[in-house]
Structure 1
Amino acid sequence: MAAASASPANETARRYASALFDLAKEKGELERVDTDLASFAKMAKDSEDLTRLLESPAFSRDEKTKALKAIAEKAGLVKTVASFLATMATNGRSNEIVGAAGHFDELYAKHRGVKRAIARTAEEMTAPQRQKLEAVLAKAVGSDVELETEVVPGLIGGIQLRVGSTLIDASVASKLERMNTAMKGA
């Protein structure tokens, strides 16, 4: 994604993530910070209350900071992550924490020389299917690949595969849509 097309909020999240990445690298905590940020992002995704806390202007910066410190302590997050969450809340950027966590994860993957891929299928992939896809992707991109899978029943069949900014859509739903469009134009 080009920086010029990034939204101001997205760019702010990137800057925070970059600063955290530099600090975690300096402290030798990259893996732990990545794990803890991913854990926090999952908590936010799974909790309407936490999402409301992060996004709602009804809570003051101070209330958000105190709540995030308590959550970080209860979850056992490393001090660097707890301080990061509190800093973002204090600076009025709590609504960008999850985005910053995603950007940090991208930086960490790049640092390790790993490419990320997301495979969406109509049904859960079997272990052999997943292993074969990972091997094909690793060969195609020339580096290790971390594959994330999602089940999207609406695809009907086939696969949608995203590696970086490239999307390969070989789903049945997409093929039907292309046929429908072609028939309307005929």
Structure 2
Amino acid sequence: MDDRTLAANKVTHASEAARRYASALFELAQDKGAIADVHNDYKAFVAMAEESEDLTRLLESPAFSREEKVKALAEVVKKAGMTDLLAKFIGTMAQNGRARDIVDAQHAFDELYAKQRGVKRAVVRTAKEMSGAERQRIESILAKAVGGEVELSSEVDPSLIGGIQLRIGSQLVDASLAAKLDRMNTAMKGA
């Protein structure tokens, strides 16, 4: 599962508080004309959190006081050279006892940013890893079908046996061999 798939899966589980914080940051960044910079820095921050057990522990553990979290997170963001707006935002979330929601808020922010740019997100699930050419072909077909840019993430699920499952938003197209066999089985039982 790649990073975009993880992001897509996590955003559906983001708390309402994380969504509200993300929306507030999105509006502020938009007003300041810094939305792309904030987006890139926020993605980098979450990547650091996912790679660092210490940073993840800092965000999630109640053993650290709010003040300790604010101070440590300010230092991390400063050393990474991230935007002041993002630094203040992360500090505010930590000060308000929402450090656990910082990662989920990024995923919600990412969704808002994609929506603003008119990007459609799609997930393709296959029985085996797709080649670069297969991936490009699917992206091209989807871009024509939706009339815009598509961000495609992929998952491998050997239980599909063959074929693909494609999800765009809430729509699922299941052209997997496993689904075809299930439909045949159901049809035979009804005969």
- With normalisation by structure 2, the TM-score equals 0.79
Choose from 53, 57, 65 the match for 1:52.
57
Change in 2 beyond 3 A, CA 1:53/1:158 = farther
Q: Which residue of 1 aligns with 2:40?
A: 35
> CA offset at residue 12 of structure 1?
0.9
> CA offset at residue 130 of structure 1?
1.2
Q: Unaligned stretches of 5+ in structure 2?
A: 1-11
Q: Which residue of 2 aligns with 1:102?
A: 107
Secondary structure, aligned partner of 1:125: coil
* Equivalent runs, 1:95-134 vs 2, <5 Å: 95-134=100-139
Task: Work out whether residues 14 and 108 of structure 2, in 8 Å CA contact, stay in contact via their aligned partners in 1.
Answer: no
Once the two structures are superposed, residues 88-118 of structure 1 have per-residue CA deviations (whole angstroms, 9 ceiling, x without a partner) of 0000001111111011111111111111112
Q: Which residue of 2 aligns with 1:85?
A: 90
How many pairs were matched up? Answer: 180
Change in 2 beyond 3 A, CA 1:31/1:60 = same
CA distance in 1, matches of 2:174, 2:51: 28
CA distance in 2, matches of 1:117, 1:171: 16
> CA offset at residue 84 of structure 1?
1.1
> What percent of counterpart residues are identical?
63
Once the two structures are superposed, residues 129-167 of structure 1 have per-residue CA deviations (whole angstroms, 9 ceiling, x without a partner) of 111111111122222111123345565543332222333
Change in 2 beyond 3 A, CA 1:17/1:122 = same
Once the two structures are superposed, residues 41-74 of structure 1 have per-residue CA deviations (whole angstroms, 9 ceiling, x without a partner) of 2222222222221111111111111111111122
Q: CA RMSD in A?
A: 2.8
Q: Unaligned stretches of 5+ in structure 1?
A: 1-6
Deviates most, 163-172 or 173-182 = 173-182
- With normalisation by structure 1, the TM-score equals 0.81
Secondary structure, aligned partner of 2:15: helix
Corresponding letter in the other structure for 1:95:
R
Secondary structure, aligned partner of 1:52: helix
CA distance in 2, matches of 1:91, 1:43: 22
CA distance in 1, matches of 2:82, 2:179: 42
Task: Report 1 or 2 for greater relative contact order, CA contacts < 8 Å, sequence distance ≥ 6.
Answer: 2
Instruction: Please state if 1:62 is matched with 2:85.
Output: no
